[in-house]
């Protein structure tokens, strides 16, 4: 059975790549996901998605603001995915929740599921979603997701990417809903690397990135940044390193831990982000420089043949905001096995839907 996938806020295609890769068989039956349509407002992201997920420019990648999207024109789908914007739920920021510009955008996914009634959906957001607005935002979102369409059996879990072979400590809430008409319940796939994390060194050096790799331009660093990084050891940041006074930052506000933080080659990378100015771009453990976009893509588990469109800064944002494809693939593999009736190793969800509490977070 082929599940036609529709997606909002698709970005460059991290979720989609993870969705279309797995093929599950049960006897003579095959279960897989295919692209049907996707939407994003960022032109470069849409071009990247078209090139890598579809293979060519196509009308099925709709590049416009979701608030102007004509839902009545969307083709029928069996599966739906959206990593709705997290800006107003992130712990890095003011946590405006539904009072912000981005918080209410999840409702467009609700409208689509009400109209098209997909058999299952995947929704992704930052871990801060659970605590935003004292947990009330998360409670409202879960309430709406459970009751839209034909109704969904929900399973929400805070995934720690490093437990699933991703060389990055990226923690995200992923909600999976399966239509109540199917009488099936998703189970959280068991971690694959609970004690043997993939490291930043594994990501960038096994194998080394080819000299001809795309999106691998090195950023020219200023002399003061180079000098500062030379005083910062692997795993340290600008606050924990012993810097000469002339190289210290004069910051009195919140001191983010990732500012000029160098990767530790023996540990997973810290979270690769798409926002933020200088000092937040991720820094190599051995060379006094920011990571290249291809290095960031490696940490996010995009394959080297995945080519990003746009300027260097646009590509950095696309990579940082994406869902790691390998994590998405693990989720969609488990969904397809659920649909096919194939057993797989699983663990209990760590989010209690009754009170939104997170266990072992």
Structure tokens belonging to residue 359: 């266990």
Report how far residue 49's alpha carbon sits from residue 292's, in angstroms, rounded to the nearest whole number.
Answer: 20
For 14-34, b/e burial (b = at least 16 CB within 10 A) is bbbbbbbebebeeeeeebbbe
**Catalytic status, residue 148:** no
- Determine contact, residues 132/88, Cβ cutoff 8 Å: yes
Report how far residue 308's alpha carbon sits from residue 46's, in angstroms, rounded to the nearest whole number.
Answer: 10
Among 10, 36, 46, 86, the active-site one is 86
Alpha helices in 276-356 (DSSP H): 293-299, 312-321, 325-340
Distance of CA 225 to the CA centre of its chain: 29
Report how far residue 168's alpha carbon sits from residue 319's, in angstroms, rounded to the nearest whole number.
Answer: 13
Region for 287 from its dihedrals, namely left if φ exceeds 0, alpha if ψ lies in -120 to 50, beta otherwise: beta
3's enclosing H/E stretch is: strand 2-8
Residue numbers annotated as active site: 86
């Amino acid at each position: 059975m082929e599940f036609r996938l529709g997606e909002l806020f698709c970005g460059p295609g991290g979720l989609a790549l993870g969705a279309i890769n797995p093929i599950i068989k049960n006897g003579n039956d095959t279960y897989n996901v295919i692209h049907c349509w996707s939407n994003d407002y960022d032109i470069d992201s849409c071009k990247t998605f078209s090139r890598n997920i579809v293979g060519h420019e196509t009308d099925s990648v709709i590049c416009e603001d979701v608030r102007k999207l004509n839902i009545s024109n969307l083709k029928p789908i069996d599966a739906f995915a959206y990593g709705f914007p997290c800006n107003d739920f992130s712990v890095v920021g003011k946590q405006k929740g539904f009072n912000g510009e981005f918080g209410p955008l999840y409702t467009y996914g609700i409208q689509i599921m009400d109209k098209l009634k997909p058999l299952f959906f995947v929704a992704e957001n930052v871990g801060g979603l659970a605590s935003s607005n004292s947990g009330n935002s998360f409670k409202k979102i879960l309430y709406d997701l459970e009751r839209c369409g034909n109704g969904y059996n929900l399973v929400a879990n805070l995934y720690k990417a490093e437990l699933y072979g991703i060389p990055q400590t990226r923690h995200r809430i992923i909600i999976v809903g399966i239509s109540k008409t199917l009488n099936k319940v998703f189970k959280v796939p068991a971690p694959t690397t609970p004690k043997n994390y993939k490291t930043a060194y594994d990501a960038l050096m096994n194998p080394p990135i080819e000299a001809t790799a795309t999106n691998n331009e090195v950023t020219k660093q200023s002399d003061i940044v180079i000098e500062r990084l030379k005083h910062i050891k692997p795993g340290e940041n600008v606050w924990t390193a012993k810097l000469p006074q002339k190289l210290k930052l004069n910051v009195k506000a919140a001191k983010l831990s990732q500012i000029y933080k160098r990767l530790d080659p023996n540990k997973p990378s810290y979270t690769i982000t798409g926002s933020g100015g200088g000092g937040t771009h991720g820094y190599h453990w051995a060379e006094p420089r920011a990571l290249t976009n291809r290095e960031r893509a490696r940490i996010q588990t995009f394959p080297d043949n995945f080519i990003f469109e746009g300027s260097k800064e646009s590509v950095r944002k696309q990579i940082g905001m994406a869902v790691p494809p390998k994590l998405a693939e693990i989720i969609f593999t488990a969904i397809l096995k659920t649909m096919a009736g194939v057993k797989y190793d699983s663990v209990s969800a760590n989010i209690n839907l009754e009170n939104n509490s997170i266990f072992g977070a």
